[in-house]
A and B are shown apart, each in its own frame.
Chain A
Amino acid sequence: MSVPDTTVARRSSPGLDLLGSELSVLFSRRRTWAMLAAVALIPILLAVAVRLTASELDPGEGPPFLDRVTQNGLFVSFTATVVAIPLFLPLTIGVVAGDTIAGEAGLGTLRYLLVSPAGRLRLLLVKFAGAAAFCLAATLTLLVVGSLIGALLFPVGPVTLLSGETIGVAESVWRSLLVAAYVTVSLLGLCAIGLFISTLTSVPVGAMAATVLLSVVSQILGALPQLEWLHPWLFTQHWLGFAGLLSQPADLSEFGTNALMQLGYIAVFFALAYGRFATKDVLS
């Protein structure tokens, strides 16, 4: 009986290939592009609707910044972001984050990833990174498409900030990127929650729905003044709080508070996800 040589030297790598593969699989799915296309529709519809409507809005009428769109196309992306945050972005994030583990389990590919062996912690980290990358892609889509359609349909020039000062176009690009970063960070807590829920089931649709539901519930709780004591702990509490980034000088304090809160949510829910997934019997 011949015994195979088992002492073949095996090079160990940090295993970044799996992250690359995760991103390429995520962004080669038609579903991902359909969601990004739907996200892109928001600023487009918004800009076209404003352009076709002759009547001027009174200051403060409609969603924030909407009244400024006709004066400056750069405001299209801000308005679209505000419109997308409460439901539309959480919906797409819920789909991606809820699918992370449950989707692999549903396809049966989870067992092959684990047998490869991917390593359970490594797989969770890669999955979270993938969901975070989607958050960034979604907010950047709002920003880029909003700026393009705004520049196409409306005049572009120096931007008058909420505080009354005016900044140049170059500065306004930086502020836009800052807002995109803020919104991306805002959604990371939800990603971690979705990742955790995703380890509980092998039915991806269930995990997606539960994730989206939680974001809605959290926003409803945040709207009830009777529950004010709870508000500082809600992950949705700072979602719309990027107005400070559009004043002069930029006020980063809420960015900091929000980032800290999201970090806390990531730590707790990632730990829960790992606690659940590390010892889970994979029967799918």
Chain B
Amino acid sequence: MTASAAADLAIDSRGLTKRFRTQTAVDSIDLAVPRGSVFGFLGPNGSGKTTTIRMLLGLITPSDGEIRVLGERMPDKLRNVLPRVGALVEGPAFYPFLTGRANLHRFDTADRHASRRTRPERVNAALERVGLTNAASKKAGAYSLGMKQRLGIANALLSPRDLLVLDEPTNGLDPQGTREVRNLVHSFAAEGTTVFVSSHLLAEVEQMCTHAAIMSAGSIVAQGSLDELRGAGESHVRVQTPDASTAESVLARFGLLPALTSPNEAHPEVSALLPPSTELDPDRLLPALLEAGVRVRGYGIEEASLEERFVALTGEGFDVRS
């Protein structure tokens, strides 16, 4: 990688490794998070995401490898870097006996670059942004999980940030809260902030992110823009029709290998993998089907979801690595 390309990375790790006594939690990973991207850090529970995030933020020392965050070496330049980074790490944590607002004041005093004069203003702005203004005077101990999560995000927004590291930001949120977080992330990105979001939920990453890395058992198994990750050509054509056999023969004429994917007699569905080559123009399929007299009730060309890729790379099981 050239020097200028490296300078465009908000997070850049080389051979980053963390060994605990008996196991290697993170095994020589090379993260490359472009500035301005919304970067999804995807992996099953226990795959080493949070350990990596702790290393990025200087909470734990790497066993090996190096990290640059916003162009500066961590953890050596921690004091220069961290004021420009907002973080939510492994769930929110607060003093239950303090109000939401008092909690944010407390954390803000820990940053010696944060001005006392603007503190009340900045705290209120952060609370407002996550929709907690009305609950700001309640004790944090009385907050619901979703409110705590919002307060945790507000804590990451106390100062203008160049990078936001959000570890599982939608954990414990209801669908509406999840959508709000997604909108927030989009608005941060629109302001030019790089957002690094970890998640074990694929759909979430697909909806929020421009780039992603997939972790499995401590290693990065794939990394790049979402389009690169999906892999070109892994899309399907799907036809819902009562004339399944006619549809199959039409699709076969284009060199596809159609199959009856819905066994439901009332709504049969035929689908086929589209080849990665550009020889076939998918737009020719529907007219051909109609011409052959196929009664098309539903039709679509679906790109492969990241889920298929994810499962292919990380396995489908629920087993936590020992």
In whole angstroms, how far apart are the Cα atoms of A116 and B158 in the complex? 10
A20 CB contacts on chain B under 8 angstroms = 109
Whether a CB of chain A sits under 8 angstroms from the CB of B116 is yes
Cα–Cα, bound, A184→B277 (Å): 81
Nearest CB of chain A from residue B186's CB, rounded to whole Å: 15
Interface residues as binary, B251-264 with A (CB distance below 8 Å gives 1, 0 otherwise): 00000000000000
Is A119's CB under 8 angstroms from B79's CB?
Answer: yes
Cα–Cα distance between A12 and B114 once the two chains are bound (Å): 8
Mark B118-145 against chain A: 1 for CB-CB distance below 8 A, else 0.
0000000000000000000000000000
Q: How many angstroms from the CA of A3 to the CA of B36 in the assembled complex?
A: 6
Docked complex Cα distance between A124 and B95 (Å): 18
Q: Are B87's CB and A3's CB within 8 A?
A: no
Residue of B nearest to A18 (CB): B109
Q: Which residues of A contact B31 (CB under 8 A)?
A: none
> Does chain A have a CB within 8 A of B295?
no
Number of A-B pairs whose CB atoms are under 8 Å?
119
- Contact assessment for A112 and B35 in the assembled complex, using a CB-CB cutoff below 8 Å: no
Nearest-neighbour CB distance to chain B for A114, whole angstroms, equals 6
- Contact in complex: B36, A6 (CB < 8 Å): no
Is B59 among interface residues, defined by CB-CB distance under 8 A? yes
Which of A217-235 touch B at CB < 8 Å?
none
Most chain A CB neighbours (cut-off 10 Å) among B84, B106, B116: B106
**B91, A17: Cβ atoms under 8 Å?**
no
Cα A8 to Cα B114 with chains together (Å): 13
Residues of chain A within 8 A (CB-CB) of B78 are 117
* A205 CB to nearest chain B CB (Å): 16
Inter-chain CA distance A279–B63, complex, in Å, is 12
Quick one: CB contact mask for B175-211 with A, threshold 8 Å, 1 for yes?
Answer: 0000000000000000111100000000000000000
| Residues of chain A at the chain B interface (Cβ within 8 Å) | 1-4, 6, 8, 10-15, 17-18, 20-21, 25, 28-30, 107-109, 111-119, 122-123, 279, 281-283
| Given A6-B70, A11-B113, A111-B59, 10 other A-B residues pairs in contact with their CB atoms under 8 A | A6-B71, A10-B113, A30-B97, A108-B90, A111-B57, A111-B90, A114-B57, A116-B108, A116-B110, A118-B111
